[in-house]
Amino acid sequence: MRSALPHVPPDTRWRGRIRNWEILAGAWILVVGTVLHFVFEWSGHWRPIAVFVPVNESVWEHCKLAVWPGVWFAFVQLGLMRNRPDTFVTAKCLGLLSMPLVIIGLFYGYTAILGGNYLALDILLFVLSIAIGQWLSYTLCVRPPTGRSWPVVAGAGMIALLAAFCVFTFFPPHIALFEHAGTGMYGILK
C-alpha cells in the first residue's frame, strides 16, 4: 500500500553536494582515463595491468578508459560521502554502465554516417559518455528509491561488465567491437 504522504525532495544543499561529487567524478574520469590510454605502452606491455587499460585500439578496449576510473572514484566516494542517498549504488552502477553503451552506440553510429572515424570525434564521444554517465548518476541519486530489484540488477550488470573486461582482454571474441583499428588483430598485440 502506498503512503499518503508525497516524497519530500532533499534540500538544495544536499543536491548541491551530490552535484559537486558527480562533477568531480567526471573530471577525475576524464583525466585518469586519458592517462590510462597510454599506460600499457608505458609499462612495456606489462600484462598484469591489461585488465584496467586498453591493450589495443579497439572500441571495446577504449571503454575501459571511462569505466575503471569511474569505479575507483565510486569506491572513494562511497567511503567519504556522508549521508549517501539510498539510491547511491544503483545510480553509480547505472551511470557507469551507460558510458560504454554511449561510446559503442555513438561510435558505430557516427562512423556509419561519415564512413570512418575521426580522432576529434572520438575524444568528443569520450567526454560526452562521461557527461551522460555522471548526469544519469546524479539524476538517480536525487530521486526517491524505486523498487528493491534495481540495486541487484545494477550491481549484477556492473559485475558482469567488469568480468567481461577481465575475460575479453585475454580472450576477445573475433567481432568488430574487439578488433584493433581495422587490422584484423584482437586482444593483446605484444
- pLDDT tens by residue, 53-98: 999 999 999 999 999 999 999 989 888 876 666 778 888 889 999 9
Give the pLDDT mean for 177-188: 87
Q: Does the pLDDT value for residue 4 go beyond 50?
A: no
Mean pLDDT of 107-132: 95
**Using an 8 Å Cβ cutoff, are 55 and 40 in contact?**
yes
7, pLDDT greater than 70: no
pLDDT of residue 147: 67
Q: Between these two residues, 86 and 128, which has the higher pLDDT value?
A: 128
12 falls in which pLDDT band (50, 70, 90)?
low
- Count of CB atoms within 10 A of residue 139's CB? 15
Nearest partner of 189 among 55, 68, 77, 50, judged by Cα: 55
Helix (H, G, I), strand (E, B) or coil at 115: coil
Distances (CA, A) of 70 to 111, 151, 158, 173: 26, 18, 11, 25
Number of C-beta neighbours around residue 6 at 10 A: 7
Q: What is the pLDDT, as a whole number, of residue 84?
A: 65
Task: Give the residues across from 179 on adjacent strands.
Answer: 186
Cβ burial of 3 (10 Å; 0-12, 13-18, 19+) is: exposed
Give the residue from 29, 21, 33, 132 showing the smallest Cα distance to 78. 21
**pLDDT of 28 over the 90 cut:** yes
Written as nine digits, the cell of 105 is 552506440
Number of neighbouring beta carbons within 10 Å of residue 100: 22
Host H or E run for residue 103: helix 88-114
Q: How many helices (H) does the chain have, and how many strands (E)?
A: 5, 0
Residue 67 class from Cβ within 10 Å (0-12 exposed, 13-18 middle, 19+ buried)?
buried
Q: Indicate the pTM of the whole model.
A: 0.86
Q: What is the pLDDT of residue 107?
A: 96
DSSP state, residue 179 = B
Q: Residue 180: helix, strand or coil by DSSP? A: coil
